Structure 1
Amino acid sequence: MSRPARLRTLLIIAAIALLELASRLAWINPVSFIPPSQMALGAWDILASGEYLKDIVLTLMSAGTAVLLSVSVGFLGGILLFRYPRLRRVIDPLLLSWYAVPIFIFYPMLIVLFGLNRWPLIMIGFLFALAAMVVNTLNGLERVPAVLLKTARTLRMSRFDEVRLIVLPASLPFVFTGIKLSVVYSFLAVIAGEFILSGAGFGYQIAYAYNNFDNPTMYGLMLLLLVFVGFINLMLHVAEQHLYQRRVPRDA
């Protein structure tokens, strides 16, 4: 483990210990905040009972579908904008202002288009993550070293081999960054949508427990969500760093 990783781990442990102490000594209102140890017990009880398994699976399926849609459509969209500069000049202002508009305002329109089901939430996750994937795909394609493309033409490689052997491997680290952001944004949008726009799912159960002052369930669900998303993000970060490290000697 590297020194920065050890420091991050110590910082997290210290923060958890401070919260435990503050809640035990009632420095924080014990009615609204429970010790982290009780949060862990609540999370364990939730997993052991299996009561919320259906909601957890529902949220994971919705967020996973949003990730697949945003990654596939965003990747193809980035390629199209890279191939057609005129189209890119038209779309660029929209990409720059994409996150200036709250995506949730489109929920009523999405209900009209897709009905009262999970698809409006999935589309919110898709729209929230789409721009990140498009921008990072464009960034990756623009970072392909020109000398590699010249080498491909010198070797008279076909267009398919040029893309398969040069363009995709060279741009993959940046494209993977888009995938990582798509995962984070999709989960964020779907779960936030469930808080206020859904009658089922992970976010809905957290909001329901909050409204009923069920702190062990609320904080247990929040802890499970934090651990799961943190683990996914950590795995994606490790893979991303591995791809960037492979690219460094090539750029040097």
Structure 2
Amino acid sequence: MTGQRRIKRATLCRLVLLVGIVGALEILCLDGAIDRLTMPPPHRIVLDMARMLVRGSLDSAIAKTLTNAAIACGLAIVIGIAAAILLHRARPLRRMLDPLFATYYAIPVFAFYPMLIILFGLGDTPQVFIGFMLGVVAVIVNTLNGLDRVPRVLLKTARVNRMDPFETAWRVTLPSAAPYILTGAKLAVAYSLIGIIGAEFILSNGGMGYEISFAYTNFDNATMYPLILLILAVSIAINMALARWEKALMARRGLR
């Protein structure tokens, strides 16, 4: 009960903080402290987003970005989990790659975009690859953390039952490491969206990133801010769903 109260209190604090920030922005915008050219009031952004979704004027751009982000995130999760399983068994290779994982996000991934265009052309593939590159290491690192914490008794049980490596991973190690894998998946969602939208900013003729960049250049706040809000809403919704799944897994094990 104490744990549930803490969770409810933390949720309430987050809601109060969010309402406070939005309320402060609303007051500052309506009062003129923040001029309309810089940012419209939050209620106007919500209305503009609803109007944009009802009209369907940017449906193709939204679908393009979310589809590419889903592909990049899916690839990052699948390949990241598979790579983590292999690295967990190949200790020398893991020790060799650990410094790369520790400094990976200091590498400017977008610097590889011109090379990716040469390799894959001007289609969606370079954007998906950027999103994948940003998301996959988060999945690998978190999955490795989970695999390192699998109780030894479970591994001994798998050996006693003569499970092969694939069956051990499928039935024992991955279910035990599931909360850590879900943490990696949540990060992969955010990083994949960042990668896709950032790539669309750099060089693209479509997608939400392109539309935000175009709207920014033309001072079109009625398009730019609603698109930013939509990206935030999608990312938060997916992460909340994964967090609920993670909470259910932890509760099933009696950890919460």
Give the TM-score normalised by the residue count of structure 1.
0.93
| 1:69-218 pair list within 5 angstroms | 69-218=75-224
Q: Write the distance in 1 (CA, Å) between the matches of 2:105 and 2:201.
A: 20
Higher mean C-alpha deviation, range 197-206 or range 53-62: 197-206
Please say if 1:3 is aligned against 2:9.
yes
Q: How far 1:197 sits from its partner (Å)? A: 2.1
What amino acid sits opposite 1:125 in the alignment?
Answer: G
Q: Deviations over 1:13-46 (max 9, x none)?
A: 1211111111001011222111011101110110
Please say if 1:14 is aligned against 2:20.
yes
Q: Write the distance in 1 (CA, Å) between the matches of 2:9 and 2:229.
A: 26
Q: Write the distance in 1 (CA, Å) between the matches of 2:186 and 2:125.
A: 22
What amino acid sits opposite 1:42 in the alignment?
Answer: D
Q: Write the distance in 2 (CA, Å) between the matches of 1:155 and 1:32.
A: 65
Q: Write the distance in 2 (CA, Å) between the matches of 1:109 and 1:2.
A: 48
Secondary structure class of the residue paired with 1:2: helix
Paired residues in the alignment total 250
RMSD (CA atoms): 1.8
Please say if 1:29 is aligned against 2:47.
no
Tell me the residue number matched to 2:4: none
Q: Write the distance in 2 (CA, Å) between the matches of 1:84 and 1:111.
A: 33
Give the TM-score normalised by the residue count of structure 2.
0.92
Q: Write the distance in 1 (CA, Å) between the matches of 2:253 and 2:192.
A: 28
Q: Write the distance in 2 (CA, Å) between the matches of 1:162 and 1:71.
A: 19
Q: Write the distance in 2 (CA, Å) between the matches of 1:160 and 1:123.
A: 28
What amino acid sits opposite 2:126 in the alignment?
Answer: P
Give unmatched runs, 5+ long, in structure 1: none
Tell me the residue number matched to 2:3: none
* Identity value in percent: 43
Q: Write the distance in 2 (CA, Å) between the matches of 1:160 and 1:34.
A: 55
Q: Is the 8 A contact 1:170 1:247 kept in 2?
A: no
Q: How far 1:153 sits from its partner (Å)? A: 2.8
Secondary structure class of the residue paired with 1:97: helix
Q: Is the 8 A contact 1:55 1:202 kept in 2?
A: yes
What amino acid sits opposite 2:218 in the alignment?
Answer: N
Q: Write the distance in 1 (CA, Å) between the matches of 2:92 and 2:108.
A: 27
